[in-house]
């Protein structure tokens, strides 16, 4: 009986120590952007508190699989076929004035772009993509001329 109690206590201690390192559930935002291995990259969460600019700039394109996207964001509200014939998963985020949507664009089972649309309830919403927000990452920095 004491052995069983000891094993249960050890299992609980092990689970709580793993939970403290955020192995289960959400990761902390500071850690999300600092992963050096793209295979382990964690996409930012979509919520009313998430700044769209940060989510789009930090979303790791070309490395997030459908399985990882599903694990992080849950089941999409809609699955659509985009104008370019690619599959899109739509996530609707309600807010005070309407709703925002994030659409994950997939190619060969990998997220290649995220489309953000802001519906302000007046029909004057705006849209932007992660590719547009991350364009500065792909452009080389011009060398500074030496005098």
| DSSP result, 59-82 | --TTT-BHHHHHHHH-S-SEEEE-
Tell me what pLDDT residue 34 has. 43
Count of C-beta atoms within a 10 Å radius of residue 116:
22
Closest residue by Cα to residue 35 from 60, 7, 62: 60
Residue with the bigger pLDDT between 24 and 11: it is: 11
Residue 12 lies in a domain: no
**At a CB cut-off of 8 Å and minimum separation 6, what does 108 contact?**
none
Residue 81 lies in a domain: yes
Asked whether the beta carbons of 119 and 95 are under 8 A apart, the reply is no
- Going by pLDDT thresholds of 50, 70 and 90, the confidence category of residue 10 is low
Tell me what pLDDT residue 138 has. 58
Residue 70 lies in a domain: yes
Burial of 30 (0-12, 13-18, 19+ CB in 10 A): exposed
Residue 3 lies in a domain: no
Residue 99 lies in a domain: yes
Residue with the bigger pLDDT between 73 and 126: it is: 73
CA–CA distance, 69 with 82 (Å, rounded to integer): 18
Residue 1 lies in a domain: no
Residue 107 lies in a domain: yes
Structural domain containing residue 78: 42-137
The domain tally of the chain equals 1
CA–CA distance, 91 with 103 (Å, rounded to integer): 6
**pTM confidence score:** 0.65
Does pLDDT of 17 surpass 50? no
What are the backbone dihedrals phi and psi of residue 127, each rounded to the nearest 5 degrees, phi first? -140, 145
Residue 19 lies in a domain: no
């Amino acid at each position: 009986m004491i052995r069983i109690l000891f094993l249960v206590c050890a299992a609980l201690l092990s689970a709580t120590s793993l939970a403290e390192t955020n192995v289960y559930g959400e990761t902390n935002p500071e850690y999300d952007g600092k992963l050096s291995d793209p295979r382990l990259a964690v996409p930012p969460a979509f919520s009313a508190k998430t700044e769209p600019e940060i989510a789009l700039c930090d979303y790791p394109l070309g490395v997030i699989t459908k399985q990882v996207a599903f694990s992080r964001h849950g089941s999409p509200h809609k699955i659509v076929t985009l104008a370019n014939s690619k599959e899109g998963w739509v996530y609707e985020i309600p807010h005070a004035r309407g709703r925002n949507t994030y659409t994950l664009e997939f190619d060969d089972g990998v997220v290649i772009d995220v489309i953000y649309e802001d519906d302000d309830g007046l029909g004057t919403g705006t849209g932007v993509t992660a590719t547009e927000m991350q364009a500065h990452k792909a452009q080389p920095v011009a060398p500074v001329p030496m005098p």
